[in-house]
Amino acid sequence: MQDRKPNILFILTDQQRRDSMRAYGNNWIKTPNLDKLADKSFVFENAYVTQPVCTPARASIMTGLYPYGTGLQRNNIPLSRDIPTIGDMISDEYYNAHMGKWHLGDDMTAQHGFDKWEAVEDFQRVRITRKEYRYQEAPYNGWLRDHGVEPPSIQVSYEGWVGVAELTEEQTQAGFLGHTASNFIRDYPEGRHADQPWMLYVNFFEPHPPYTGPLNDLYDPAEIEVGPGFRKRPDTGSLVNKLRSDFYMGGGANPLGEAGGDVHDTTTEEGFRKLRAQYFANVTLVDNQLGVIFGALEESGQADNTIIVFTSEHGEMAGDHGMLEKRSLYEEASNVPFLIHVPWLNENHQTRVAGSIGQVDLVPTLLDFSGSEIPDHLEGKSLRPVMRGDEDLSDNDVFIQWNGMGDRNLGSPEINRMVSIPWRGVVTGDRWKLNLSPGDQCELYDLNTDPAELENLFDKPEHKDRIRQMAARIRIWQDETGDDMPLPTV
């Protein structure tokens, strides 16, 4: 490690599955830049979100707290200015930049310890932006106009517009962020803050739906690989997941996406494959821009003193269990990629880390590596001892949750009712998963023998003692974090 504190480059995508790169078993997707990063990084085998939906998960990534601690237990709730993010907590020596999606309140203005701010989602002005900033536009709007495209109306989200906008790669939010982040990195050594280490968060919208984009023809739907859970109804699972599976496989569409032209024939395998192929093409769209960013890091001579983190705020079902999008404790929605490259520890070699971690661990880990104080209120723990080989994750329990109420229309009154019911889940160090709900069929999966979660073992008499032991772990965690969801009797 050099005398100067390390720079930190944090790449966050939206809705990217764990199996979307070679490091996690995908041998057909084109992600050369993520592959190159993985080849010189710690590759954590299993990284879980705190809640598989945007705002709660993103808040945990930024604060090191579970959703109960942040108060953001559903989408579109602003993060209180009184709750510090890593931008507030990291050493004052750092110059902090945030680019892209925020989704934690006022997207338009610098906040929470970030010195430089590049917004992309103009639509958020309508929801939360303070009145004095109501006419301030996101820089991405200017990027669109410079490239001959009129931005969407302020009443229309990027998600509800991009599906019919027919943008080129360069015109997408990914293209804008690749350009903006690489310029920041390349220009930094000659800028006014050159004597300070920097922390840069780059937050991509893609591969979040709509399931369409400028690379739609990149993959042949008939040739892509699918797993054993593809289009398989979860007959032994929860009612909410069975309802969602029936809805999508019956041809139902996400009402929000449908309004923006995101319509696919999900009644057939061919239609589902086409949607899935286009989803993975948007992963490649992001990877192309990561090449631009990583290139700037190398060209500017800063790579040897820059920690690189890559993860996603939640996954995507993409037809597994017959479902789409997130809002599920299934692996496809809650288990995401997590790579971290620390030049003086990795020495350009890949190190695979067995076991499971939660995204509440990200903030304390980066504070630790930056030489910053780690506040006592954080609910995660630093992974630095694991990465140094001093500890392992064999006994590490990870907790996932769903908090239900207040979510948007998901397609039918029946689904909307069942989505309102909360869940608490634990993945134990020996790779068993228990999902508990006070109002739905509970679930137990052996991820060692059934990684696709096809057989719910919850009602098997031989597992009753295991269930009670795992439920006790959830209850202890609830007591430690102040979580008050009532657990069912087991």
Closest CA to 162 of 108, 99, 205, 119: 205
Integer angstrom CA distances of residue 194 from 10, 187, 253, 342: 19, 9, 49, 21
Domains delineated in the chain: 7-392 (3.40.720.10)
The answer to whether residues 199 and 8 touch, using CB atoms and an 8 Å cutoff, is yes
- Residue 401 pairs with which residues in a beta bridge? 424
Under DSSP, the state recorded for 233 is -
Whole-prediction pTM value? 0.96
What would the DSSP string read from start to end of 409-444? --SSHHHHHHHTS-EEEEE-TTSEEEEE-TTS--EE
Buried b (16+ CB within 10 A) or exposed e, 40-63: bbbbbbbbbbbbbbbbbbbbbbbb
End-to-end CA distance of the chain: 50
Buried b (16+ CB within 10 A) or exposed e, 247-278: bbbeebbbebbbbbebbbebeeeebbbbbbbb
Amino acid at 92: D
Under DSSP, the state recorded for 320 is B
SS3 state of residue 284: helix
> Tens of pLDDT along the chain (490 residues)?
457 899 999 999 999 999 999 999 999 999 999 999 999 999 999 999 999 999 999 999 999 999 999 999 988 888 999 999 999 999 999 999 999 999 898 888 899 999 999 999 877 655 566 777 777 888 999 999 999 999 988 888 898 899 999 999 999 999 999 999 999 999 999 999 999 999 999 999 999 999 999 999 999 999 999 999 999 999 999 999 999 999 999 999 887 778 778 889 999 999 999 999 999 999 999 999 999 999 999 999 999 999 999 999 999 999 999 999 999 999 999 999 999 999 999 988 999 999 999 999 999 999 999 999 999 999 999 999 999 999 999 999 999 999 987 678 899 999 999 999 999 999 999 999 999 999 999 999 999 999 999 999 999 999 999 999 999 999 999 999 999 999 999 9
